[in-house]
Structure 1
Amino acid sequence: MPRTKKKKSKGGQHGAVQPFSDEDASIETLSHCSSFSDSTSVADEGGDGSEDTAQEDFQYKLKGFIDSTVDKSAKTRQGALDGLKTAMATRILYEFISERRMTITDSIERCLKKGKGEEQRAAASLACLLCIQLGSGIESEEVFKTLKPIFKNILVDGSANIQARQAVATSLGLCTLVAEDDVLDVQATMECFENLFTRSYARADGTCPSINPQTSQLHTNALLSWALLLTICSANQLKEILRKHLPKLPKLLESEDVNMRIVAGETIALLFELARDTEPEFEFEEWDQLCIKLSALATDCNKHRAKNDKRKQRSVFRDVLKAVEDGDFQSETIRFGTERMSIDSWVRKRTYDAFREFVGSGMNYHLQANEFIRDVFELGPPILVDSATMKAMKISRFERHLHNSAAFKARTKARSKFRDKRVDVGEF
């Protein structure tokens, strides 16, 4: 990327960090033209200087965030981490980040080791976004090699902040998927997750352990990450996992925590799908009892449960029941830019949900522009779109409001005329 001129200090590096606004994010989300990389600016393609200035301001702000991650103030560090997270979720920044990846990694490491709850949570999420930006390769492997031991130390430390452990349980799973190059290390990480969520399994006498909501969320996050790594297991690994865990996972369907019940159900559906992919005639000895349990959850009328929980649970378990009984999956189409992608399996759904957990509303943009994510979902190279097409596609919120208002007025007028005609007919 061309070097930008150094700007004068705006209040010093140690001032309060200003997090990104929606406007800051939107500047970069659709500013790409003919290339999704930040290596080409609008000015290079013949655009006006205002876009190029916005690009410079954006990069200047990012540099400020990186500097502020080592500030003495916890509030300033938190703001800097959040600012970097928003930027990475809404923009492809490969070249900018690649040059500074070790600096950012050092900041994440420091915040994980010395920070408290929310700061550690933000640092763990930023680590994931950094790996997503760098993609699968030596750069992300170096980042993960530095952070993995810290992640695992926090995860297994019962005295560590519970929010930090929850965040690490989620981030470790996706970072492993993106940046781990050793099959045995993937297996070791899965065992770390197993050591957590299996504590929610029923005891030998059939009773369920009493677990507080925060710990239950930790176990749920561990199960989600474990399920994500199931999607890259070999057939032999899967066979051993099915033998060891499939008979016990249904006990998690009796958990008091609705999120644990749902994640357990989706993981069971995923296991059945993977098992049938490797062995079409796969059979489970306790299949009948499992289907009865899933059917009960799909029609749950328990008065002691919240209505929203029951509604959400019934919807999920109808799909899980179809998966276990018939091998069916309720497919969904994701539209982004001029393209579309089908979520047509539990494997694809678990992978999609894992990435969306971190990039949020930027998921469609990453599907459109992030080469690594496109490779994961077999979408091919990014489709290049020129600036004129992008401007034609981009409709402002105000323009949408005017369009919707006009459509509403036209619809109201048409209905009024139709009602008048019905009145006239009635009078005759």
Structure 2
Amino acid sequence: MPKGKRKGKSDRGRFDGSLHTSDDDSFNDNNSVISNYSENKSVEEGEDNEEYVQEQFEDKLIEMLDGLNQKSSQGRINCIQTLRKALIKKYVPNFVRERHFTICDSIEKSLKKGGGLEKSAAAELAPVISLQLGEEDAGEMVDKTLRPLLITAACDASVGVGARAKCCHALGMMGFLSGSQLGDVLSLMQNLETIFSGSYLKGDGSIPNITSEVANLHAAALSAWTLLLTNMPPGSLTDLIDTKTLPSLEQLSELLESPHLEVRLTAGEALALIFEEGRKDNSEFADDFAIFITEVFKKLATDSHKYRAKKDRKQQRATFRDILSFIEDDIVPDVQVKFGREILVLDTWARRKQYEALCSVLGPGINLHLGENDLLRDIFEITAPIVQAHDAPAHAQQHLERCRKRLLNAAAFKARTISRAKNRDKRSDF
């Protein structure tokens, strides 16, 4: 009998949520669950190969979903994080729609009973599910189910500060995507204000002494509040401020005195967005306050205090120069985002805020979703058609065809390698 360690049953097929792949592997690693793959399988047609890759990808997703119910907390966290990364890299609304009950139930359990790290992971996954589902009934159901739990966790002082900040970001994005009634949006904004109001000046006018971690929580709550502000109906902003449903401009300006950079930057963006929305209805919106706040912005745009980090000073000056230019001259610097053959122009503070928030959720997957996700294309009013391969010149088509064949051959070679490796493992065990 040959000596050596034999593989036990528990060592095979066990999924702990980790995927040892690179961005180019598309989850085609040696842990693949594809079985009985024939070496004679034809990959001549691109559609067949795409279907094969899609099936392999969905098999991996199913493994992750199965791992969400394991007893190990770290294993659940790994599965949640891996599932989130996979759904960022690929737009699969049909797959998510068919299993949204299972995913939503797992997120709900993690938010209720999980520790700080598990709550953070679940809060990061929640808005990705909403982005995959779009404006469907399933997306609204996910928002209604998870919103109370996210609010509870965000406002619970016993929960870790980092997890609370993730819940604030999730609340802002899901509230923005859901298109809820105005009353529900205002209620959520008031919950968020109870969090970032901790950075308002004290009753005696002194600056509150908070840690950098708490400051990041306040900045996250204010950022989510500002994102929800972009969904306000036209003409409603002035009335909501006058009736004190929303905080006053004076209260928000107090946040500019915070010693923490993130709070100052987020407060400046919130004020710029309020002025942008207010001036749509009234060109003389808050003119008296504008004179005061302009001086504050000028100081922040030229801040040279040595006790601040050089990088922080540079970022602050650049941001407040843009805000000052808008307050004084109604100029918003155009930012162009290229994805595929299309260009997205961010020419308002509202669009800049929405794009920034989506980037924080999708990361490098933002370009893919801008090209394929109907919800994002509706948000940014992207109507230009996507140029297909058959619209290209003849020489370009030939080049694309050669590239396609190389990719098909590479996929076939990799599939054969995986299949043979499995057979070798079985023979060695025997």
TM-score by length of 1: 0.81
Shift of the alpha carbon at 1:252? Answer: 0.9
Counterpart check, 1:62 vs 2:65: no
Q: 1:7-406 residue pairs with structure 2 within 5 A?
A: 14-19=14-19, 21-23=21-23, 26=26, 46-47=45-46, 50-235=49-234, 237-243=236-242, 244-380=247-383, 383=386, 385-386=388-389, 392=400
Deviations along 1:291-346, one digit per CA (max 9) or x if unpaired, are 11111111111011000000111110100111111111011111111111100000
Mapped contact 2:123–2:167 kept (Cα < 8 A): yes
**Shift in CA distance, 313/59, structure 1 to aligned 2, threshold 3 Å:** same
**Shift in CA distance, 52/240, structure 1 to aligned 2, threshold 3 Å:** same
1:32 maps to which residue?
Answer: none
Mapped contact 2:16–2:79 kept (Cα < 8 A): no
Deviations along 1:138-162, one digit per CA (max 9) or x if unpaired, are 1101111111110111111111121
Cα distance in 1 for residues equivalent to 2:276 and 2:76: 43
Shift of the alpha carbon at 1:19? Answer: 2.9
1:404 maps to which residue?
Answer: none
Of stretches 376-385 and 259-268 in structure 1, the one that deviates more from structure 2 is: 376-385
Mapped contact 1:128–1:171 kept (Cα < 8 A): yes
**Shift in CA distance, 252/362, structure 1 to aligned 2, threshold 3 Å:** same
Cα distance in 1 for residues equivalent to 2:176 and 2:205: 34
Shift of the alpha carbon at 1:113? Answer: 1.4
Mapped contact 2:301–2:319 kept (Cα < 8 A): yes
Mapped contact 1:13–1:67 kept (Cα < 8 A): no
Cα distance in 1 for residues equivalent to 2:134 and 2:11: 35
Q: Number of residue pairs matched?
A: 374
1:421 maps to which residue?
Answer: none
Cα distance in 2 for residues equivalent to 1:219 and 1:389: 52
Please report the RMSD computed on the Cα atoms of aligned residues, expressed in angstroms: 2.7
Gaps of 5+ in 1: 1-8, 29-42, 397-428
Cα distance in 2 for residues equivalent to 1:394 and 1:112: 49
Deviations along 1:6-48, one digit per CA (max 9) or x if unpaired, are xxx99566542223633367579xxxxxxxxxxxxxx999317
Mapped contact 1:322–1:328 kept (Cα < 8 A): yes
Mapped contact 2:235–2:281 kept (Cα < 8 A): no
Of stretches 126-135 and 246-255 in structure 1, the one that deviates more from structure 2 is: 246-255
Cα distance in 1 for residues equivalent to 2:278 and 2:402: 44
**Shift in CA distance, 383/231, structure 1 to aligned 2, threshold 3 Å:** same
Cα distance in 1 for residues equivalent to 2:401 and 2:188: 43
TM-score by length of 2: 0.81
- Identity fraction in percent: 34
Shift of the alpha carbon at 1:235? Answer: 4.0
SS in 2 for 1:285: helix
Cα distance in 2 for residues equivalent to 1:121 and 1:339: 34
**Shift in CA distance, 318/272, structure 1 to aligned 2, threshold 3 Å:** same
Cα distance in 1 for residues equivalent to 2:133 and 2:286: 41
Cα distance in 2 for residues equivalent to 1:17 and 1:252: 41
2:38 maps to which residue?
Answer: none
For 2:220, give the aligned amino acid: N
Of stretches 47-56 and 361-370 in structure 1, the one that deviates more from structure 2 is: 47-56
1:38 maps to which residue?
Answer: none
For 2:377, give the aligned amino acid: R
Cα distance in 2 for residues equivalent to 1:391 and 1:108: 45
1:39 maps to which residue?
Answer: none
